[in-house]
Amino acid sequence: MILRALTLPIRAVVFLLWFAGQVVLSSAAVLADVLVSGRRSTPRVVRLDLADAGDHHVTALGVLVTLTPGTLVLGVVEQPGGTRSVLVHSMYHRDETTAVADLRDLDDRLVRGLTLGGRP
């Protein structure tokens, strides 16, 4: 736990740099779709299950997803038993499996980069 506290600033910077890179890549995809004739987008809505994630975690993930060009959080669905899911509109994932895998990767990196004790 002490080691995680000491490495938090480094992990946070690494996460923020990675996320900035993702924003640049997503922006390039949106820009290419706008500038090149023809439609390259494959819009879809996917559900990302977050199990027992807390309010702060769900909010942070929602903000990060919405900040990324080509994705938008549509809402949070409360399910029986207290679990939550986030509904995400994605423009450039080729299928639902890829979209959920990329969202899960963002969620895992968020937890590793910005928490002390793992998943909230």
Q: Is 72 exposed, middle or buried (0-12, 13-18, 19+ CB in 10 A)?
A: middle
Q: Is residue 58 part of a domain?
A: yes
Coil, helix or strand for 51? coil
Count of structural domains, the chain: 1
- The CATH number of whichever domain residue 101 belongs to comes to 3.30.70
15 in a domain, yes or no?
yes
Q: Is there a domain that residue 119 lies in?
A: no
Q: Give 69's contacts (C-beta < 8 A, 6+ positions apart).
A: 23, 26, 27, 29, 30
Query: Is residue 98 assigned to a domain?
Result: yes
Mean pLDDT of 88-104: 95
The identity of residue 23, as a single letter, is V
Looking at residue 120, what is its pLDDT?
54
Which residues is 76 bridged to in the sheet?
A: 86
Cβ-in-10-Å burial (0-12, 13-18, 19+) of 43 comes to exposed
Residue 24 placed within a domain: yes
* 107 occurs within a structural domain: yes
pLDDT digits (tens, 9 = 90+) for 37-85: 777 889 999 999 998 788 999 999 999 999 999 999 999 999 888 889 9
- Determine, yes or no, domain membership for 120: no
| Greatest mean pLDDT among 21-25, 38-42, 91-95 | 21-25
* Greater model confidence, 79 or 86: 86
What is the pLDDT of the chain when averaged over all its residues?
91
Structural domain span for residue 9:
2-114
Whether residue 27 is contained in a domain is answered as yes
In the predicted structure, residue 24 carries a pLDDT above the cut 70: yes
